[in-house]
């Protein structure tokens, strides 16, 4: 049995009293905080790192995947326009498999834009702060306990939005959540992004891929070869062969490769760590170590096996950490399923829409795609069934394992963030629980109306 100690109880300073506390400054939290503050609520966003953007920045995962301007409206469109206006976009291309625009953003610009959007809306930001406890009274969250260089403190809240990605607030409050596949609870594999290789002979590389595609049918799974952009996934038997010889330590039979033709670099991706939990610190540590080793072997592999990389050098990327695709999904008043997505089920309480494909990196090392048209996300998926004043947005909303594989993409995290933030502000204004707000009024504020997917 694990040894335990008893922690002494103590009084804590209350450093603020807010109408809306947004817990977690990832891409969903940014949208939630902007929406809540713009709609008049006294809002605080709390983030453990010293920047906003979450996985998008820390992984980093700079590619907004499956953006569809007819579906991802509001703050999502605003962010893209601000990025374009401020030289914050590296490249854009359409991806047929994922069903939308892929927009590679410049992370420093995104971080700046996010801070300014929140401050301009009148919101407050607290960086370098870990949320470690919640105060629950009568099935409501009365406040959040935080830890930082300033010690242990409390913040009071009327409504809390869980945008921790991991559903930390729900778990701390004792609200119901689910994890992983129905069959065995396993989640999608984790990935450490990169490496990026500079000094690649792009012409040599692309000629090799074109030839390889012809001579090895079915081995290049995807190949985008546009004017200045390229992306491919595959090299199945080459990978198997290298693994058998001990030249590669990858669990998957595919590597992903993309870059810009005129800049002479290529980003590789293929590190996958299955069977690890994003809410267990020992697993996270193992995932960091395993993925560093995989990346190192990927660098040696391309230099030895893939023409064009002979003189390439790995770019230094500083403080990146493992990318977690899936952890807790908080149970709401409705659980959105893959059938709802595929069947474009219409919901009377729709507050957000998405169209990005389902993309599952299975623990067995496969990638499964399901192409989708625009589908509804009902408000009930953003309200915890157990805590009266807890909303959620981003990748911890109330969906199944399969539906999460579409919902987790950046555009959808932003639209659910905007919906939750707007709903929270409305609840505060009307002095009622989020579950009782006037949903048609919320839909009007979000400019989203039932039955209008138009088969997009
Ligand atoms: C490897 C990988 C590849 C991906 N590829 C793509 C892609 O190509 N395109 C795409 O659109 N999406 C992609 N995604 C998905 C997408 O990046 C994420 O699902 C999305 O960014 C999640 O946003 P979020 O705001 O919900 O959560 P997160 O980004 O996880 O943000 C949560 C925030 O809360 C903070 N936080 C968490 N717990 C606490 C706590 N207890 N106290 C204080 N702060 C806390 C975190 O520091 C973080 O900033 C990918 C994801 C991964 C991992």
With respect to residue 235, please indicate whether it lies within any of the assigned structural domains.
yes
24: helix, strand or coil: coil
pLDDT digits (tens, 9 = 90+) for 257-278: 999 899 999 999 888 999 999 9
C-alpha of residue 280 to centroid of ligand 1, in Å: 16
- Supply the CATH number for residue 94's domain: 3.50.50.60
C-alpha of residue 163 to centroid of ligand 1, in Å: 9
Residues 55 and 142 in one domain: yes
Asked which of 269, 294, 314 is the last residue of a domain, the reply is: 314
Cis, peptide link before residue 364, omega less than 30° from 0 = no
Residues 232 and 309 in one domain: yes
For ligand 1, whether the C-beta of 324 sits within 6 Å is yes
For ligand 1, whether the C-beta of 270 sits within 6 Å is no
Residue 441 has a CB neighbour count (10 Å cut-off) of 12
Position in ligand 1 atom list of the atom nearest CA 53: 49
Q: Tell me which DSSP letter residue 381 carries.
A: G
Q: What is the pLDDT of residue 455?
A: 43
The continuous run of DSSP H or E covering 407 comes out as helix 401-407
Residues 308 and 390 in one domain: no
Task: Please compute Rg for the chain using Cα positions.
Answer: 22
Residues 310 and 345 in one domain: no
The pTM of this model reads 0.96
With respect to residue 416, please indicate whether it lies within any of the assigned structural domains.
yes
The continuous run of DSSP H or E covering 212 comes out as helix 202-215
For ligand 1, whether the C-beta of 27 sits within 6 Å is yes
In angstroms, the CA 375 to CA 416 distance is 13
Residues 427 and 308 in one domain: no
In angstroms, the CA 50 to CA 26 distance is 12
Asked which of 314, 348, 371 is the last residue of a domain, the reply is: 314
Residues 167 and 205 in one domain: no
Pocket test for ligand 1, best of 49, 54, 62, 172 (most atoms within 8 A of CB): 54
C-alpha of residue 264 to centroid of ligand 1, in Å: 29
How far does CA 113 lie from the centroid of its chain?
18
In angstroms, the CA 123 to CA 34 distance is 7
For ligand 1, whether the C-beta of 128 sits within 6 Å is no
pLDDT digits (tens, 9 = 90+) for 156-210: 999 999 999 999 999 999 999 999 999 999 999 999 988 999 999 999 999 999 9
Residues 298 and 355 in one domain: no
Asked which of 290, 314, 338 is the last residue of a domain, the reply is: 314
Residue range(s) defining the domain that contains residue 366: 15-183+326-446
pLDDT digits (tens, 9 = 90+) for 392-430: 999 999 999 999 999 999 999 999 999 999 999 999 999
Residues 390 and 335 in one domain: yes
Pocket test for ligand 1, best of 24, 90, 291 (most atoms within 8 A of CB): 24
Position in ligand 1 atom list of the atom nearest CA 169: 41
Q: How many domains does the chain have?
A: 2
Position in ligand 1 atom list of the atom nearest CA 413: 26
Q: What is the pLDDT of residue 453?
A: 66
Residue 454 has pLDDT above 60, yes or no: no
8 A C-beta contact, residue 385 and residue 176: yes
Q: Which two tokens stand for residue 20?
A: 């809306």
The angle at the Cα of 101, spanning 397 to 57, to the nearest 5 degrees, equals: 55
For ligand 1, whether the C-beta of 168 sits within 6 Å is yes
Cis, peptide link before residue 195, omega less than 30° from 0 = yes
């Amino acid at each position: 049995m694990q040894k335990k100690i008893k922690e002494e109880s103590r009084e804590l300073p209350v450093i603020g009293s807010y109408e809306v506390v947004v817990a977690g400054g990832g891409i969903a939290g940014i949208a939630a905080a902007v929406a809540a503050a713009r709609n008049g609520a006294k809002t605080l966003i709390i983030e453990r790192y010293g920047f906003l953007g979450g996985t998008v920045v820390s992984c980093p995962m700079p590619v907004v995947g499956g953006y569809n301007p007819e579906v991802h409206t509001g703050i999502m469109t605003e962010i893209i326009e601000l990025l374009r206006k401020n030289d914050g976009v590296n490249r854009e291309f359409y991806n047929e498999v994922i069903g939308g625009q892929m927009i590679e953003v410049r992370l420093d610009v995104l971080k700046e834009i996010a801070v300014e959007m929140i401050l301009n809306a009148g919101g407050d930001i607290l960086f370098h702060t870990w949320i470690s406890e919640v105060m629950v009274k009568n099935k409501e969250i009365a406040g959040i306990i935080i830890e930082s260089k300033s010690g242990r403190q409390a913040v009071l809240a009327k409504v809390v939005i869980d945008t921790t990605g991991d559903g930390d607030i729900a778990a701390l409050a004792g609200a119901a959540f689910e994890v992983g596949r129905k069959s065995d609870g396993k989640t999608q594999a984790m990935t450490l992004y990169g490496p990026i290789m500079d000094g690649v002979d792009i012409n040599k590389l692309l000629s090799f891929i074109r030839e390889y595609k012809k001579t090895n049918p079915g081995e290049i799974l995807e190949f985008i070869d546009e004017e200045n952009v390229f992306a491919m996934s595959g090299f199945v038997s080459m990978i198997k062969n290298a693994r058998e010889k001990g030249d590669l330590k990858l669990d998957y039979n595919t590597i992903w490769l993309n870059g810009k033709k005129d800049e002479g670099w290529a980003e590789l991706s293929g590190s996958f760590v299955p069977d690890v939990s994003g809410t267990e610190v020992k697993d996270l540590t193992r995932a960091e170590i395993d993925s560093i080793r995989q990346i190192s072997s990927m660098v040696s592999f391309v230099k030895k096996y893939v023409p064009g990389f002979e003189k390439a050098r790995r770019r230094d990327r500083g403080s990146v950490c493992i990318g977690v695709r899936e952890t807790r999904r908080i149970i709401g008043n409705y659980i959105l399923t893959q059938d709802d997505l595929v069947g474009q089920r219409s919901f009377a309480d729709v507050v957000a829409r998405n169209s990005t494909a389902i993309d599952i990196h299975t623990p067995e090392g496969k990638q499964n795609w399901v192409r989708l048209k625009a589908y509804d996300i009902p408000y009930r998926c953003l309200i915890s069934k157990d805590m009266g004043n807890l909303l959620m947005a981003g990748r911890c909303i109330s969906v199944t394992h399969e539906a999460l594989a579409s919902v987790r993409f950046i555009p959808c995290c932003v639209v659910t963030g905007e919906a939750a933030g707007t709903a929270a502000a409305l609840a505060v204004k009307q002095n009622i629980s989020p579950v009782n707000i006037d949903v048609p009024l919320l839909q009007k504020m979000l400019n989203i109306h039932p039955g209008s997917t138009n088969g997009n």
